[in-house]
Structure 1
Amino acid sequence: MLEFAGFLPILLVIGMAAIQLGLIGYGINQAGSGARAAARVASQGGDGGAAGQAAVSGWLNARVDPVPGPDLTTATVTVRVPGVIPLFGPYTVTRQATMPTDD
C-alpha cells in the first residue's frame, strides 16, 4: 500500500503527459485542416477566414489569416492548446497551407 501511494504521483504525471501529447497532436491536426480549408476557399475568392474557423474545433480558439495573392493563396492558422500539467502553460501551434489562386 505504501509503495503504491509513493508511486501514484509518478503514474499521474505520466498519464497527464500522455494526454498533453495527445492534445498537442490534435491541435496540430486541427490547425493543418483549418489552414487547408482557409487557403482553398480564399483561393477561389471566398471568405477563407470563416472557412478556416469552421474547420477547427471551437475550443481551440483558432486565429486564421488567409493572404490571397495573384498566383498563390497562403493561409496561416494558429491555435492555442491548453496545458494539462500544472505549471506548464498553454502551447501555441501554427500551421500554414498554400493553394494556387483561381483566375
Structure 2
Amino acid sequence: MTTMPYSARVRAGRAGGSGRAGKGRDRGQARGRDRGQVALEYLGFLPLLLLVAMGAVQLGIAAYAANQAGTAARAGARTAASYDAHGDPESVARSSVSGWLSGDGFGYSQSGGEDITATVQVKVPSVVPGLDGWVATRSATMPRE
C-alpha cells in the first residue's frame, strides 16, 4: 500500500478519481437542478414576513396611541380638578398628545362633581390596510383641589 501526499489525494478527490465512481458527477448535477431553490422559498415566505412585521408595527402604534390617550386624560383631569389651573382642560389634553395623533380622531369628555373624570379617545393610525377604525380610549379621575 502506497501513501499519497495530502495534496495529491485532494486533487484526486476533485477529479472524481477517489475510488467512488461517478459520485462526484451526480452531486454536481443535483446542485445544478436545485440552484435557486432557496431564493424561491424565500420569495414565497417574504409576504408572510412582511405581514407579520406590519402587524408588529401596528400593535406598537396602537400601544403608543393608548399611552398618549392616558397622558391626555390625566392632563385634562388635572386641569379640570384644579381651581388654580389656567386654560381649558380640553385644549390642555389636546396639547399633551403628539401632533400626528391630535387631529380629527381626538375626542375629550369630562364628568363628575367632587372627583373629575376625564375621558380621551384617540384614533389609532393604520399601517395595515383594512385595520382602520381602532380607537384608544383612556380615562383618568382626579380629586378636586
TM-score normalised according to structure 1 size? 0.91
The residue number in structure 2 matching 1:71 is: 114
RCO higher in structure (CA 8 A, sep ≥6) = 1
The residue number in structure 2 matching 1:52 is: 93
Tell me which protein shows more strand as a share of its residues.
Answer: 1
Structure 1 residue ranges, 4+ long, deviating more than 2 angstroms after superposition: none
Root-mean-square deviation over aligned CA pairs: 1.2
- Asked if 1:41 is matched to 2:79, the reply is yes
Give the drift of 1:80: 0.2
Q: Which residue type is aligned with residue 78 of structure 1? A: Q
The residue number in structure 1 matching 2:124 is: 81
Distance 1:86 1:78 in 2: 21
The residue number in structure 1 matching 2:66 is: 28
The residue number in structure 2 matching 1:10 is: 48
Identity %: 46
Q: Check 1:83–1:90 CA distance in 2 against 1; reply closer, same or farther (3 A cut).
A: farther
Which structure has the larger Rg over C-alpha atoms? 2
The one of 80, 91, 95 equivalent to 2:134 is 91
Q: Which runs of no fewer than 5 residues in structure 2 stay unpaired? A: 1-38
Give the drift of 1:14: 0.5
TM-score normalised according to structure 2 size? 0.66
